[in-house]
């Protein structure tokens, strides 16, 4: 198979060297998928689990995830915790400040649907009321493994979106990905 045919399938590595040959679009998608930088943005309990995911044992760096301190450099926003009416406008603003393409992970019950604060007077019942959510990770709070699963699913989605783009198909409809609760919660 010649280089040209192989190029159709994506990225190839030239044997014996550190050279990659790829179409620019492929390369972009590959980079986009494997270096999702996340916005450092913790709200409550889930933020502690998010920190634990980034720390020694779970080591989020393995997936190219890296916490950035500004929305201008972030690709994915992990909403980790409950969102109050007072906080919601700031989250919306942060989302708007992020460059395209951007993704949102709603981590935990509160960010997904209000969680235990379903009947609270000040808590917004789900962050999807004002920003589009790609992945819902259930749990109260979710275990780090579940968050990682959510991130991997999101990476798959980014690849699929790119494939469709390459083949001239319309962009797939963004159905929300739901990561169910497994085992004991975090």
Give the residues lining the site for other proteins (CB under 8 A): 39-45, 48-49, 51-52, 55-57, 68-70, 81-82, 84-94, 116-117, 119-124, 128-132, 140-141, 143, 184-186
**Taking a C-beta distance cutoff of 8 angstroms, is the pair 84, 122 a contact?**
yes
Least distance CB 158 / other proteins (angstroms) = 20
* Dihedral (Cα; 157, 159, 162, 166), 10-degree rounding: -130
**Taking a C-beta distance cutoff of 8 angstroms, is the pair 144, 114 a contact?**
no
Output 20 or 97, the one with its CB closest to other proteins: 97
Least distance CB 21 / other proteins (angstroms) = 37
Least distance CB 164 / other proteins (angstroms) = 22
Cα 176 to Cα 2, 64, 70, 146, distances in angstroms = 39, 22, 25, 16
Output 55 or 164, the one with its CB closest to other proteins: 55
- The DSSP annotation for 82-123 comes to --BTTTHHHHHHHHHHSPSS-EEEEEHHHHHH-GGGTT-SSB
Output 33 or 41, the one with its CB closest to other proteins: 41
Least distance CB 28 / other proteins (angstroms) = 26
Output 3 or 184, the one with its CB closest to other proteins: 184
The length of the chain in residues reads 186
Least distance CB 80 / other proteins (angstroms) = 11
Output 41 or 155, the one with its CB closest to other proteins: 41
């Amino acid at each position: 198979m010649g280089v040209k045919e192989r190029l159709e399938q994506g990225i190839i590595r030239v044997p014996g060297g550190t050279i990659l040959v790829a179409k620019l679009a492929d390369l972009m998608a590959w980079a986009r998928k494997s270096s999702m930088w996340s916005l450092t943005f913790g709200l409550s309990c889930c933020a502690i689990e998010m920190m634990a995911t980034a720390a020694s044992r779970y080591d989020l760096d393995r997936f190219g995830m890296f916490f950035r301190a500004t929305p201008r450099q972030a690709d994915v926003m992990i909403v980790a915790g409950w969102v109050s009416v007072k906080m919601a406008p700031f989250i919306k603003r942060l989302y708007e400040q992020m460059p395209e393409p951007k993704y949102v992970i709603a981590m935990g019950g509160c960010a997904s649907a209000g969680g235990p604060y379903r009947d609270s007077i000040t808590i917004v019942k789900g962050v999807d009321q004002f920003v589009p959510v790609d992945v819902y990770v259930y749990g109260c709070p979710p275990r780090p493994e579940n968050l990682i699963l959510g991130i991997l699913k999101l990476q798959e989605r980014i690849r699929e979106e790119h494939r469709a783009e390459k083949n001239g198909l319309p962009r797939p409809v963004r159905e929300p990905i739901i990561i169910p609760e497994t085992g004991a919660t975090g």
